[in-house]
Structure 1
Amino acid sequence: MNLPYGDATIDVSLPDCNVTVADPPGGDPVDPREAAEEAMADPHGPPLSERVSSADEVAIVVTDVTRATPDDVLVDLLVADLREAGVSRDQISVVVGLGLHRPMTDEELRTALGGYADLAENHDAEAAEVVGEVEGPDDEFVPVELNPTVAEADAVVSTGMVEPHQYAGFSGGAKTVAVGAGGESLIRYTHGPAMLSREGVRLGRVEGNPFRAMLDRAGDAAGVDFCLNVTHGSAGLLGASAGDHRKVVRDLAELCKRNISISLDQTYDAVVAGVGAPKDANLYQATRAATYLALGDYDPLASPARHAGDASQREGGSGTSGRIVVPARLQEGAGEGTGEKRFYDWLSGAESADALYDEMRQGYEPGAQRAFVVARVLREYDLYVTNSESPEVVEECLMHARESVVDAVEPGSDVLVVPDALDTLLTSAES
């Protein structure tokens, strides 16, 4: 088997195990420019050229290096429509929606944005300013903060990748602006333990998801006028959608789910989860593979009782009932951004997953939420990270480092291999 590893693959053989490979349909890949052009020509709501005036200063918020969005193509098409409305290049700014991730380098900006890299600035969450507020599910109001360039713009446009997201169900839409170009207040609230424990906050769920609903309302408060998003599966880019941010997310989420879902009817001793670039650059991002699998609709390592809805079992566990194996390059170690550093500090300073989980339930800083959900998984299962360039970081963070996948799997195990764990939704064959 070939599993993704950075920008390449590694060959994995488990001859002493019973192996099942989870291959979702994948879909038929499309050309990014053609798909985006079609979406721009038939948007949800009025076209971009009718939503702006020739005098407008326009901010385009784009994704960062953690998402494989063809931003060079998307920005080019957005600029073309703005030009049609009389908006010139010198009226356009591009803001990289980092959230609390690290800034992109000049080289990364040139690669991501091509001829528009000179218009770009990295977002700084500490410089965000309050532009409004949004009501939470308990009637509390949370400030919405924005990058000053975005806050001062007459029109706000965004790109985005609609892909499975642990909390929002699917990313994209207003998230690129509200979180990517936002401040810590909204991130702290939406990513805090109270929100993440709410019913409906789940991977792959958009409707009835209070996290997603908060993002949508924050997008309204931030004044997101138009977005151009894409989605992808294991085969590549699957489609694009443009216009009103809510409809774009729902449109592409359905397309994505049809092509990345696979049903199962058994459990396994171990799951091997492929990640690849750009998500396997650091431990913060690579652990998504483990949490997506163990905390999704169908836990492939769980007992039948847990699948039947025994929530007490999900919250407990000895950490010895199964293992998740993630080959990841980790050339950036735990990660270099503010959120990644907070993630590392919590995990590396913890005595155990149980102690960490109990402590973090009382609250934590934005960005550290990944440590919280990883702790939930580690309370039940062992997590092995293999083939990495940062094994010492893995060991410091309550996980196990091994040189290869075969070193992390016990002979005779029933093994599920999910080659593209971040683009696969596991469901029950009975549902």
Structure 2
Amino acid sequence: MTIELLFGRAGLSLTLPETARAHVIEKPAFPPCTAPNEQIAQAFVTPHGSAPLAELARGKRSACILICDITRPVPNHLFLRPMIETLTNEGIPLDQITVLIATGLHRPNEGDELAELVGDPWVVENVRVENHFALEDADHIDLGVTPKRGVPIKIDRRIVEADLKIATGLVEPHFMAGFSGGRKVVAPGVAHHETIRTFHSARFMEHPLARECNLDGNPLHEEQLEIVRRLGDVYALNTVIDDKRNLVYCSFGEIVESHLAAVDFVRGYTEIPVGRKFKTVVTSAAGYPLDQTYYQTVKGMVTPLDILAEGGTLIIASSCAEGIGSDHFRAAQERLVALGPEAFLAGLEAKSFADVDEWQTEMQLKPMRVGQIQLYAPALSDDDFAVTGVERISDLPTAIADSIARHGDTDIAVIPEGPYVVPQATPRMPSVATQ
């Protein structure tokens, strides 16, 4: 049996050993949908909780449009130009429109990468496309703190000062915030490092409700809602894509309502009841662009934990073409390897602000508590692999066969899309999103 895993740009054909009884966990087929340009045009005129886009733009002097960075396969090439043309048709000058890349604490996207991210030369040539820099104090406006948990609200002044504020993004499972898209593109997307590092502290990261596909009582989601409320009127275009990167759904409108509409749509295609656990789980890191670093690969380790049996083996395939990730992340991984999981976590629990990028190392502790992690990443150098804290494998079929023999169980779970699919050992009660 051969299964295609999302891996890098080209994918990876995995031929399973004959001893394996594979349970392939995939999304159900999306319903037929209209052409992307028709979906987008319809979303702009039938919004959720707001006036149509053209009416929102009327009388405004400036606009800021947030887009995700290169780590998310958002179909910017489909919607940015029609969105911008709608704004200019209502009188907003092109030189008063900024497309702001919501990098969070990631590196900026520049040159050819920026062109690929935007996907439309017309946009790059006609409006300002700029990166957010979370470490630049002067780029942010201090809006106080959230009332419940005291999270500092410092947001990029380009979105705060714009007359029309629009976030855009991709709605998919997120292993802490429940779902990406919507409010998350604002914070942490264009937030100051103190805001982001508070979100990434242990008091949020270790909270049992800060998990994939859950909005009910999720502290990250609740604080993100408080932050967007502080900004006043914010709108969003949320998109959903299939495994071939085709647009299958989009919703526009008030940032919270339009996001919940997209969550309601995507939930039935991403939360997959499986009904059992497995001693061998094989997954991917979702292919390009998500699997370009080990930093992002950790997401693929966390999402299938509900179906990984205690003491089981989690095997993940990731391109890691760009290596380990940032210097900050490498430093966190080095501490993990040197200290061990328990001492590393103890150090995190004493901090109000997480160090930059160490939160991803903290997330890696979750699968390490359950079982053994094996990584297939042939592009990762020996020096980089030394700080992963997981076991290296050079041949997937052999690793799977060895796991089957070790556990004495031929049943294996295979998740070709990695973190874009959330398998559940037992069905969960429906989440109720807080607003």
Using structure 1 for the length normalisation, give the TM-score: 0.88
Specify the code of the residue in structure 2 equivalent to 1:279: L
Residue 207 of structure 1 and its aligned partner are, at CA, apart by 3.0
CA contact 2:282–2:314 (8 Å) conserved in 1? yes
C-alpha distance in structure 1 between counterparts of 2:329 and 2:233, whole Å: 30
CA contact 1:144–1:186 (8 Å) conserved in 2? yes
Please say if 1:116 is aligned against 2:123. Answer: yes
Please name the residue that 2:15 is paired with: 13
Specify the code of the residue in structure 1 equivalent to 2:46: D
Please name the residue that 1:291 is paired with: 302
C-alpha distance in structure 1 between counterparts of 2:26 and 2:228, whole Å: 35
CA contact 1:344–1:371 (8 Å) conserved in 2? no
Residue 387 of structure 1 and its aligned partner are, at CA, apart by 3.6
Residue 289 of structure 1 and its aligned partner are, at CA, apart by 0.6
Structure 1 residues 391, 273: closer, same or farther in 2, change over 3 A? farther
Residue 224 of structure 1 and its aligned partner are, at CA, apart by 5.1
Partner SS state of residue 377, structure 1 = helix
Residue 199 of structure 1 and its aligned partner are, at CA, apart by 4.2
C-alpha distance in structure 2 between counterparts of 1:126 and 1:37, whole Å: 37
Specify the code of the residue in structure 1 equivalent to 2:329: F
Please name the residue that 2:291 is paired with: 280
Structure 1 residues 329, 172: closer, same or farther in 2, change over 3 A? same
Please say if 1:356 is aligned against 2:326. Answer: no
Structure 1 residues 29, 195: closer, same or farther in 2, change over 3 A? farther
Aligned residues: 404
Residue 77 of structure 1 and its aligned partner are, at CA, apart by 2.3
Specify the code of the residue in structure 1 equivalent to 2:92: V
Partner SS state of residue 6, structure 2 = strand
- Of residues 405, 425, 428 in structure 1, which corresponds to 2:425? 428
Structure 2 unaligned regions, length at least 5 = 429-435
1:246-265 to structure 2, matched below 5 A, reads 246-265=256-275
C-alpha distance in structure 2 between counterparts of 1:430 and 1:92, whole Å: 45
Please say if 1:367 is aligned against 2:357. Answer: yes
Partner SS state of residue 211, structure 2 = coil
Please name the residue that 1:36 is paired with: 40
- Of residues 22, 25, 28 in structure 2, which corresponds to 1:22? 25
Tell me the percent identity: 24
Please name the residue that 1:408 is paired with: 399
Q: Deviations over 1:200-237 (max 9, x none)?
A: 22210123322111111211223452211101343543
Residue 66 of structure 1 and its aligned partner are, at CA, apart by 0.6
Specify the code of the residue in structure 2 equivalent to 1:344: R
Please say if 1:331 is aligned against 2:314. Answer: no
Residue 324 of structure 1 and its aligned partner are, at CA, apart by 1.2
Residue 405 of structure 1 and its aligned partner are, at CA, apart by 1.4
Please give the root-mean-square deviation of Cα atoms over the aligned residues, in Å: 2.0
CA contact 1:32–1:70 (8 Å) conserved in 2? no
Q: Deviations over 1:335-378 (max 9, x none)?
A: 2xxxx432221112323223323322323324321110102221
Partner SS state of residue 342, structure 2 = helix
Residue 141 of structure 1 and its aligned partner are, at CA, apart by 2.8
CA contact 2:25–2:414 (8 Å) conserved in 1? yes
C-alpha distance in structure 1 between counterparts of 2:32 and 2:418, whole Å: 18
Q: Deviations over 1:9-67 (max 9, x none)?
A: 21212223232111221413644322221111100111222223445121111111011
C-alpha distance in structure 1 between counterparts of 2:150 and 2:348, whole Å: 23
Q: Which 4+ stretches in 1 moved above 4 angstroms? A: none
Of 265-274 and 399-408, deviating more is 399-408
Residue 189 of structure 1 and its aligned partner are, at CA, apart by 1.7
Please name the residue that 1:69 is paired with: 74
1:212-231 to structure 2, matched below 5 A, reads 212-223=221-232, 225-231=234-240
Q: Deviations over 1:277-302 (max 9, x none)?
A: 111100011110111111xxxx1113
Please say if 1:87 is aligned against 2:72. Answer: no
Partner SS state of residue 219, structure 1 = helix
Specify the code of the residue in structure 2 equivalent to 1:416: A
Residue 380 of structure 1 and its aligned partner are, at CA, apart by 2.5
Partner SS state of residue 95, structure 1 = strand
Of 387-396 and 202-211, deviating more is 387-396
Structure 1 unaligned regions, length at least 5 = 304-320
C-alpha distance in structure 2 between counterparts of 1:89 and 1:430, whole Å: 49
Please name the residue that 2:252 is paired with: 242
Using structure 2 for the length normalisation, give the TM-score: 0.87
C-alpha distance in structure 1 between counterparts of 2:154 and 2:191, whole Å: 5
Structure 1 residues 167, 147: closer, same or farther in 2, change over 3 A? same
Structure 1 residues 53, 133: closer, same or farther in 2, change over 3 A? farther
C-alpha distance in structure 2 between counterparts of 1:361 and 1:376, whole Å: 15
C-alpha distance in structure 2 between counterparts of 1:198 and 1:429, whole Å: 21
Please name the residue that 2:210 is paired with: 201
Of 397-406 and 228-237, deviating more is 228-237
Residue 165 of structure 1 and its aligned partner are, at CA, apart by 0.6
Residue 149 of structure 1 and its aligned partner are, at CA, apart by 2.3
Please name the residue that 2:433 is paired with: none
Residue 70 of structure 1 and its aligned partner are, at CA, apart by 1.0
Partner SS state of residue 406, structure 1 = helix
